[in-house]
Structure 1
Amino acid sequence: MTPAAAIAALNRQLALHGQDAVLRRSTWVGTTKTNFDVDVRITLRGYRPDELLGGITQGDSQVVLGPTEIAVAGWPDSMVDVPRAGDQIIAAGRTRSVIAAAPIHLGGELVRIDMQVRG
């Protein structure tokens, strides 16, 4: 499977089975906070009890996100195209903080992002 085919397959599945969300990164310049929001399509699920290992705690959730919306929107100030700890996901009326993000590459190209979120 090519990276483009993997991204297209993920985008189709997210369109069919995912939900709308907002990925937010906040930046500070002096005392002024600016939010940069990107509309994204995600899957969101809680972790099973047998997955509560390491830094994963009860109440954390897993988010799967494709790279398409982030690449199209373009993060400000040459920010990397992968969410990082401190970013937020706003979905289903709740704001969750990104604890960790695991980019998945195929053939050297980013095709999927798995995130652990809390809140």
Structure 2
Amino acid sequence: MTPAAAISMLDRQIRDHGEDVKLRAQDAADDGSQDIARRAFVRDYRPGELSGGIEQGDREVILSPTGLGADPQRLGGLFVGDRYCTIEVANPVRLAGAVVRWNLQVRG
């Protein structure tokens, strides 16, 4: 599988089964005028996954690199519904050296 094919499959799955989130840069105005609307998979961590800095209430957010342009860790946070979450960890998943998805640990 090529990186482009993997990204295309992820984009399709997120479009069909994901939910809307809004990304916010660390230095953005609080009025939401600079928020970036995206689709993502959002899920709560299971009890067995609560270790290594993952706390109850944290969530995993999966983003596609399509149109992202930067490391999500530099964004600062995102809104899931009306709830603001800070990005604690942003782990890239690579295929043949190219980032094909971002796994975020968010808190809030």
Q: TM-score by structure 2 length?
A: 0.89
Shift of 1:69: 2.8
Please state whether the residue corresponding to 1:68 is helix, strand or coil. Answer: coil
Shift of 1:20: 0.9
Of 69, 75, 83, 1:94 maps to: 83
Structure 1 counterpart of 2:12, one-letter code: R
Shift of 1:10: 0.1
Q: Which residue of 2 aligns with 1:60?
A: 58
Number of corresponding residues? 105
Shift of 1:23: 1.0
Distance in 2 between the 1:10 and 1:101 partners? 17
Q: Taking every aligned residue pair, what percent have the same amino acid on both sides? A: 43
Larger strand percent: 1
Q: Which residue of 2 aligns with 1:78?
A: none
Structure 1 counterpart of 2:88, one-letter code: I
Shift of 1:94: 0.7
Q: Which residue of 2 aligns with 1:41?
A: 39
Contact 1:18 1:43 in 2 (8 A): yes
> In structure 2, do the counterparts of structure 1 residues 43 and 25 end up closer, same or farther at CA, with 3 Å as the change threshold?
same
Shift of 1:37: 2.5
Structure 1 counterpart of 2:18, one-letter code: G
Of 69, 90, 113, 2:102 maps to: 113
How big is each residue's C-alpha offset from its partner over 1:46-75, in whole Å with a ceiling of 9 and x where there is no partner?
Answer: 00000001100000000000011313xxxx
Mind listing any 5+ residue stretches in structure 2 that lack a counterpart?
A: none
Please state whether the residue corresponding to 1:70 is helix, strand or coil. Answer: coil
How big is each residue's C-alpha offset from its partner over 1:9-42, in whole Å with a ceiling of 9 and x where there is no partner?
Answer: 0000000100111111122xxxxx6474222110
Mind listing any 5+ residue stretches in structure 1 that lack a counterpart?
A: 28-32, 72-80
Please state whether the residue corresponding to 2:73 is helix, strand or coil. Answer: coil
Structure 2 counterpart of 1:90, one-letter code: F
Contact 1:45 1:61 in 2 (8 A): yes
Q: TM-score by structure 1 length?
A: 0.81
Choose 1 or 2 for highest CA Rg.
1
